[in-house]
A and B are shown apart, each in its own frame.
Chain A
Amino acid sequence: MLTANLQHLDKDYDVVVVGGGPAGMAAALGAKETGAEKVLIVDREKEAGGILLQCIHPGFGLQHFREELTGPEYAERYKQQVLDAGIHVATDTYVLDIDQDKQVKLLSGTDGVRLINTKAAVLSMGARERTRGAIRTPGHRPAGILTAGLAQKFVNLMGYLPGNKAVILGSGDIGLIMARRLTLEGVEVKGVFEIMPHANGLNRNIVQCLHDYDIPLHLSTTVVDLQGRDRLEKITVAPVDSHFQPDLSKSWDIDCDTLLLSIGLIPENELTRRLKIRLDPVTQGAVVNSQMETSKDGVFVCGNVVHIHDLVDFVSAESELTGRNAGLYVTDQQPPGDNIRLVPGENVRYCVPHTISSDRTHTVYMRASQPMEESILRLGDVYEKKLRYVVPAEMINLKVRPRFLQNFHGETLKVDILPVDNT
């Protein structure tokens, strides 16, 4: 358990990392590696590790550590390195504000309200779950309707069950994982309902969490009514057409006392907004350059606060790079700026980072808007690559090397995912 390892906070830091999940820990380590001396990780929970701590299922680290770990195990690997590197960790501590001069206002369980100064900041606050309000499900508002992540916290961290008979709305990964978890705990999981014609979670979770336990997945179907005054008693579901309009004539009722919502994550950008940093309306995270630096000088971002990742392994890679750049920033070794802007084109929802430089190698993360069988990923007309099968649920990453861009002299590069026969 990684809890606060210091008696009192210092007044000045080179790098303050906000959020001690996998992103924050990797960033702090990265910053140390490139020369930042005083690095502080701040986390609001009693223990660092972020959402990993409640993800007690395996499936983490296959890419990064080349072995299959649970969430807490994955976090543990990082914690040891953080401690060994002499990084300060303040848990049960909340960042209330960061001002334009990078003065950080903290509320610390041991130190009360404190003001500290930092040369660079890394924002890695992660994401929160979308709630019922975001989709405006009509009906009653009884107890028993909660996000899948809260249910996961009840079961895995507090040791309670959210109900007896559950339905899951949305096919995000946390929902799928919880379908299995609740089944194993003796809760009857009556089905997963997804409004889109395709699932939102990873394929391996559909297989391992639903198919293996005979839990039905209903695509193009949504919840249209909730009943029960004090506690949820019944829900009504209905299929939707291609415009997501429910066909009430085909609706049916399901008796259940619990509805878990797994309808997506929203990056937690309240601090980012306070700093007036430019945001991308699609990712709902900051606009970043290839060093993961935002529109505010010396403020870097990584992890789910920038864009939602489906695998923690990618978070770690992205965040280590972010931290390294923060370290270079405070030691005045920052590489020169970018010269090419990436523009999402056909079937590409977004690209992160938003700009790259033609003389370094970058990993560009992107998501498709629509599933597509055989397809081709194209970077303007300088580079193309065959992709076997793309789905919105699975992030695509592409290494862009200087040699691809040798003969490119423009300023913007369009990124497309096209069907094979179209090209």
Chain B
Amino acid sequence: MVYDVAIVGGGITGCAIARELTRYHLQVILLEKEAEVGFGVSKANSGIIHGGHHGKPNTLKGKLEWTGNQLWDTLHEELGFGFQRNGELTVALQEDQLPTLAELKWQGETKGVPGLELWEQEKLQKEEPHLSPDIIAGLYAPTTGVINPYEACFNLIENACLNGLELVTDCPVTGLSQDKDYWTIQTPKGEYASRFILNAAGLFADEIAKMAGVGDFTIRPRKGEEYLLDKRLQGYVKRVIFPCPTPVSKGILVIPTFDGTLMVGPTAEMIDDKHDLTTSSAGSSQVFNSVTQVVPGISARDCIAEFAGLRPVADGEDFIIGPTAKRGFFNVAGIQSPGLTAAPAIATLILDILHEEGLNLSPKDNFTPSIEKPIHFASLPTEAQMELAKRDSSYSHLICRCEFVTEGEILDAISRGARTLDGLKFRTRAGMGRCQGGFCSGRCMELLSQKLDIPVSEVTKRGGNSWIVRERDEVFSSDV
């Protein structure tokens, strides 16, 4: 069969586009090289829905930042991932930073971002008492929010699948060839044919473009290290805190994540290797030295986990969205920050472009905009918890003690597509807390093994060769 549209890459960009396309009478397939969607850049970022005022209005990223920002409320209502507009403060430590705040405010207002306010020291201290007393002013933006980025990917794709998307994971695209009316896509799982191809392959979008014969750009990774802090610091700051930006960087932020942990980061460093997700001691000292100037109560001792993400940066720094010299092949590439924020707007934009290029968009009557929302046991009121545990006893077994995740939630996540320990962790938070899976990994592995009908030794951390345990050698057995 020939698909109408094939999307290469299931990051937030690919997922948002897939979900929009399934509104119409179209055959759509998404090919993802990892074990689950969202395992590229889209799971390793700051999780901020930017306020809309940071990006320059004359760039594509600057425009889509604000349009994208406004689309998240509806998506959140329909799909129920973690999202909250908790606001943002960009703070100034010195007099000479005040003009930058004023400029940001003006930039936002010209784009139509509402509610921007300059706050003085007194108001800042009242609203955020843990900010450094050295901070003299701050720009408040109520439009900024925080999101669980992987949850957004999972829920978008679950809804797309409900509406007819065909999702193939563990399926890297290795070659492309153009016939008269359609493209043939080579993968280790076989060939697929499609009229249109959307290249949403994140860091590897330049390679996919090359396969299509339009490799006229390169993607370079810009690494960002992030450090998660113990839940003890929950509520220490309520809003996302930005230092005053410099021409080269947005600086190191303090992010109250949707789940209530504080996160600090990211660094920004151009590197060469697209697989280099290492964190470094230089990165960690940069993050903590910088953050303590703004929120002095934060210390490196509170760190429970760290990770790095790579922003896919195209030549010229802007997003590359649109048709190419090859008919039917479209780029959605160079989606660096604020790509998460912009994703729903990117999806709308590329659909408009596809329509102009001859894709017929005829709406389905039976499109279902929402999914059954996953249950989050810990946040239910006691009565509801009692009710649920009585109805389904899998909710009365605790699996993850740090985040209070029940067996019922783990089983539900597997039925929705979790295939790996990381997939479970990102869907349910099991293993994300202070013991980092020490307590629940074994149980999660057993449940994955039972439900997927694979041996425990084939359960992986995140697909590929990331095995966790191996079978015991029979020859060695001992009494000690």
Q: Least Cβ distance of B462 to chain A in Å?
A: 7
Interface residues in A110-165 by Cβ distance below 8 A to B read 110-113, 115, 128-129, 131-134, 136, 138-144, 146-147, 149-150, 153-155, 157-164
Q: Least Cβ distance of B36 to chain A in Å?
A: 14
> Does A109 count as interface, using CB distance less than 8 angstroms?
yes
Asked whether, in the complex, the Cβ of B480 is within 8 Å of the Cβ of A184, the reply is yes
Question: Which residues of chain A have C-beta atoms less than 8 A from B290's C-beta?
Answer: none
State the interface size on chain B (CB cutoff 8 A).
59
Q: Least Cβ distance of A171 to chain B in Å?
A: 19
Asked whether, in the complex, the Cβ of A139 is within 8 Å of the Cβ of B279, the reply is yes
Question: Which residues of chain B have C-beta atoms less than 8 A from A58's C-beta?
Answer: 480
Best-surrounded residue of B300, B437, B466, B475 (most CB of chain A within 10 A): B466
Asked whether, in the complex, the Cβ of B300 is within 8 Å of the Cβ of A136, the reply is yes
Asked whether, in the complex, the Cβ of B469 is within 8 Å of the Cβ of A231, the reply is no
Asked whether, in the complex, the Cβ of B382 is within 8 Å of the Cβ of A113, the reply is yes
Partner of A157, one of B275, B397, B442: B442
Contact with B along A298-311 (1 / 0, CB 8 A): 00000000000000
Q: Least Cβ distance of B301 to chain A in Å?
A: 8
Question: Which residues of chain B have C-beta atoms less than 8 A from A147's C-beta?
Answer: 438
Contact with A along B288-315 (1 / 0, CB 8 A): 0000000000001001111100000000
Asked whether, in the complex, the Cβ of B404 is within 8 Å of the Cβ of A96, the reply is yes
CA distance A132 to B305 in the complex (A): 7
Q: Least Cβ distance of B381 to chain A in Å?
A: 10
Asked whether, in the complex, the Cβ of B306 is within 8 Å of the Cβ of A133, the reply is yes
Contact with B along A249-288 (1 / 0, CB 8 A): 0000000000000000000000001000000000000000
Given A138-B284, A160-B457, the answer on whether A133 and B305 have CB atoms closer than 8 Å is: yes
Partner of A138, one of B279, B436, B466: B279
CA distance A162 to B280 in the complex (A): 26
CA distance A162 to B437 in the complex (A): 14
Among listed B326-334, B354-362, B386-394, interface-contacting one: B386-394
Asked whether, in the complex, the Cβ of A160 is within 8 Å of the Cβ of B472, the reply is yes
Asked whether, in the complex, the Cβ of B300 is within 8 Å of the Cβ of A164, the reply is no
Question: Which residues of chain B have C-beta atoms less than 8 A from A162's C-beta?
Answer: 468-470
Asked whether, in the complex, the Cβ of B281 is within 8 Å of the Cβ of A136, the reply is yes
Q: Least Cβ distance of A62 to chain B in Å?
A: 17
Nearest B residue to A70, CB-CB: B480
Nearest A residue to B288, CB-CB: A136
Question: Which residues of chain B have C-beta atoms less than 8 A from A163's C-beta?
Answer: 469-470
> Does A108 count as interface, using CB distance less than 8 angstroms?
yes
> Does B441 count as interface, using CB distance less than 8 angstroms?
yes
CA distance A113 to B438 in the complex (A): 25
State the interface size on chain A (CB cutoff 8 A).
56
Question: Which residues of chain B have C-beta atoms less than 8 A from A161's C-beta?
Answer: 469-473
> Does A338 count as interface, using CB distance less than 8 angstroms?
no
Asked whether, in the complex, the Cβ of B466 is within 8 Å of the Cβ of A231, the reply is yes
Asked whether, in the complex, the Cβ of A133 is within 8 Å of the Cβ of B304, the reply is yes
Asked whether, in the complex, the Cβ of A186 is within 8 Å of the Cβ of B473, the reply is yes
CA distance A353 to B438 in the complex (A): 30
CA distance A389 to B213 in the complex (A): 74
> Does B461 count as interface, using CB distance less than 8 angstroms?
yes
Q: Least Cβ distance of B433 to chain A in Å?
A: 10
Best-surrounded residue of A134, A136, A181 (most CB of chain B within 10 A): A136
> Does A211 count as interface, using CB distance less than 8 angstroms?
no
> Does B278 count as interface, using CB distance less than 8 angstroms?
yes
Q: Which residues of B contact A (CB under 8 A)?
A: 227-228, 232, 275, 277-281, 283-284, 300, 303-307, 382, 385-386, 389-390, 393, 395-398, 401, 404, 406, 434-439, 441-442, 446, 456-457, 460-473, 475-476, 478, 480
Can you list 26 residue pairs at the A/B interface with Cβ under 8 Å?
A: A92-B397, A94-B401, A107-B389, A107-B396, A109-B396, A112-B393, A113-B385, A115-B382, A131-B304, A133-B305, A136-B300, A139-B278, A143-B460, A144-B468, A146-B441, A147-B438, A155-B472, A157-B442, A158-B446, A160-B456, A160-B472, A161-B469, A162-B469, A229-B464, A230-B466, A231-B465
11 new A-B contacts, CB < 8 A, other than A138-B280, A229-B275, A230-B461, are: A108-B396, A112-B393, A113-B382, A141-B279, A143-B468, A149-B438, A158-B456, A161-B472, A161-B473, A163-B470, A230-B463
Closest 6 CB pairs of A and B: A112-B389, A160-B469, A143-B461, A230-B465, A186-B476, A143-B466
